[in-house]
């Protein structure tokens, strides 16, 4: 449990520029430098829920809580309690925040910022107190370095965005399908995804995943629709062999809205699992 310290007296408080944002840094009378936890979380790009989780993690961790303390700090004439972490504990905390495949895929900018913080944040914050610029030239150079760093990050984001757009364009062309052939191509794509996930034995799981995403987006239940269709066919006197052959793909194909949403789902899955679309295009001719 982290409590507010009445013994530690802040003697210097500043906002330190880092990676296009500002981090709260405090030097206390004991000579130690501490950083505002919320500022780090916001700088990385974590959501409010993720920030709250990190605050709890710090307070519950038997090691990190030794470097954590709440300090009464002044902001605009008012005093607020701020959870801070001793600078020596910062790399350990950041290293405990995992860069998962999901983060790399869905939030590449956050993943890259987290890497930057893990590698450089401690040194930059320490330098803000230990190596103050003494000349206008040094101040100018520091500003130039910040601009160069921001431009590098912006260029990296733009390149990743362009790459995603190129993939989307390729996939859109691939799946501009007429009513008969789109089912063959979808099956081929799902086979490729299954291979990427460990082999054809994963095919049923991949197909089920695609249906689940469709149901969530379209707010529908394919199983119920399939049952209703079979019941209707039975009432209309269709042969049992014909009824047994009807599947969820038939249900999707019967509804233009579901077909459109499902194709979008398959496109996204193809990109996520880096399917070789050129191979799919050549294997199934339009």
* pLDDT tens digit sequence for 1-39: 555 555 678 888 888 888 888 889 998 888 889 999 999
pLDDT at 284 over 50: no
Mean pLDDT of 154-163: 67
In this structure, which CATH number among 3.10.260, 3.90.320, 1.20.1070, 3.40.50 belongs to the domain 10-132?
Answer: 3.10.260
CA–CA separation, 229 vs 247, rounded Å? 10
pLDDT band at 279 (very low <50, low <70, confident <90, very high): low
Least confident segment among 130-139, 165-174, 197-206, 265-274: 165-174
Greater model confidence, 79 or 283: 79
Average pLDDT across the chain, whole number: 80
Give the pLDDT of residue 210: 92
CA–CA separation, 27 vs 31, rounded Å? 6
Mean pLDDT of 75-92: 87
Give the pLDDT of residue 85: 92
User: Which residue ranges make up each domain of the chain?
Assistant: 10-132, 175-283
Mean pLDDT of 211-222: 90
- Label residues 78-104 b or e (16+ Cβ within 10 Å = b): eeeebbbbbbebbeebbeebeeeeeee
Phi and psi of 19, rounded to 5°?
Answer: 50, 45
CA–CA separation, 78 vs 72, rounded Å? 10
pLDDT at 54 over 50: yes
Percent helix, strand, coil in the chain, to 5, is 65, 15, 20
pLDDT at 170 over 60: no
């Amino acid at each position: 449990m982290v409590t507010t310290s009445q013994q530690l007296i802040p003697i210097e408080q500043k906002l330190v520029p880092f990676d296009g944002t500002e981090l709260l840094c405090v030097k206390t009378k004991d000579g130690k430098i501490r950083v505002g936890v919320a500022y780090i979380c916001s700088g990385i790009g974590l959501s409010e829920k993720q920030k709250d989780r990190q605050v709890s993690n710090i307070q519950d961790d038997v090691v990190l809580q030794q470097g954590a303390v709440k300090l009464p700090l002044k902001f605009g004439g008012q005093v607020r309690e701020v959870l801070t972490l001793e600078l020596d504990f910062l790399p350990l905390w950041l290293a405990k925040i995992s860069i998962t495949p999901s983060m790399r895929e869905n939030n590449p900018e956050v993943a890259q910022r987290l890497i930057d913080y893990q590698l450089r944040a401690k040194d930059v914050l320490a330098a803000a107190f230990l190596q103050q610029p003494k000349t206008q030239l040094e101040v100018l150079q520091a500003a130039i370095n910040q601009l160069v760093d921001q431009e590098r990050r912006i260029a990296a984001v733009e390149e990743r965005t362009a790459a995603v757009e190129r993939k989307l364009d390729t996939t859109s062309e691939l799946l501009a399908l007429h009513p008969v052939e789109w089912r063959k191509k979808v099956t081929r794509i799902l086979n490729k995804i299954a291979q990427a996930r460990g082999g054809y034995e994963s095919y049923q799981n991949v197909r089920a995943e695609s249906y689940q995403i469709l149901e969530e987006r379209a707010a529908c239940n394919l199983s119920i629709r399939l049952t209703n269709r079979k019941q209707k066919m039975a009432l209309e006197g269709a042969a049992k062999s014909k009824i047994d052959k009807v599947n969820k793909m038939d249900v999707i194909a019967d509804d233009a809205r579901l077909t459109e949403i499902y194709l979008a789902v398959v496109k996204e899955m193809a990109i996520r699992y880096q399917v070789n679309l050129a191979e799919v295009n050549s294997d199934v001719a339009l």
